[in-house]
Amino acid sequence: MSAVGLIDAGGANLGSVRYALERLGVAVRMVREPAALEGVQRVILPGVGAAAEGMRRLHAQGLVQPLRGLQLPLMGICLGMQLLFERSEEGEVECLGLLPGVVRRMHPAVGVRVPHMGWNKLLALRESPLLDGVPPGASAYFVHSYAAPVTSDTVAACHHGGLFTAVVQRGRLCGAQFHPERSAGPGARLLRNFIENDFS
């Protein structure tokens, strides 16, 4: 397989995602400009931080339109998944608009802390190649204050003061709100499933 393109959107998880992919034997190509997308067979958009800054960086690198027109399997991780949606309340920013829905701030309550940080169980809502081999009720590691709504594209949800999308897939578009690179076996399996399955 050709290299997986790893978008450098300025997220602190960039290095850890790269190492997780390399542990799976995947060749990684860092992408900081559109030309670097040529020849890759998969693209991953990681991210940690604010939606407005993530979109600003993608615009500055000239990657917004190439990502919107991409005909390859694309996976967003954490903030990267949120950027796949239409808009984020975080800064009231227009995102990539590849998936319908608005990312909204999570609200603290009794026993519900925001940011949502730590391990939480995945609730599978429908079948998807992304979850092949991931045990029912597996836990994953989350760090976020904003979340995408549960829609018909939601593969797995998570509960933290209400249900939100933890894993999403619409055709070739995939996403994980949690950090697969920090989620032990289930996270590694999800990454491998994204690399090895045909999402065309």
For residue range 42-64, list pLDDT tens digits in order.
999 998 889 999 999 999 999 99
19-37, pLDDT tens digit by residue? 999 999 999 999 999 999 9
Structure confidence at residue 108 (pLDDT)? 87
Domains located in the chain, CATH noted = 4-196 (3.40.50.880)
- Give the pLDDT band of residue 139 (cuts 50, 70, 90): very high
H/E stretch holding 157: strand 154-159
The one catalytic residue in 116, 144, 160, 179 is 179
Q: Give yes or no for residue 79 having a pLDDT over 60.
A: yes
Output the six-digit token pair for 77.
Answer: 């991780």
Q: Give yes or no for residue 1 having a pLDDT over 60.
A: no
- pTM, whole model, 2 decimals? 0.95
**Largest Cα span, the chain:** 50
181 is catalytic: yes
Query: How many CB atoms neighbour CB 86 within 10 A?
Result: 14
53 is catalytic: no
β-bridge pairing 139-144 and 163-170: unpaired
The string over 20-43, giving b where at least 16 C-beta atoms fall within 10 Å of a residue's C-beta and e elsewhere, is: bbeeeebebeebeeeebbeebebb
SS3 of residue 161 by DSSP: coil
Lowest mean pLDDT among 55-64, 109-118, 158-167: 109-118
78 is catalytic: yes
Please provide the average confidence, as pLDDT, over all residues in the chain.
94
The one catalytic residue in 33, 38, 78, 94 is 78
Q: Give yes or no for residue 2 having a pLDDT over 70.
A: no
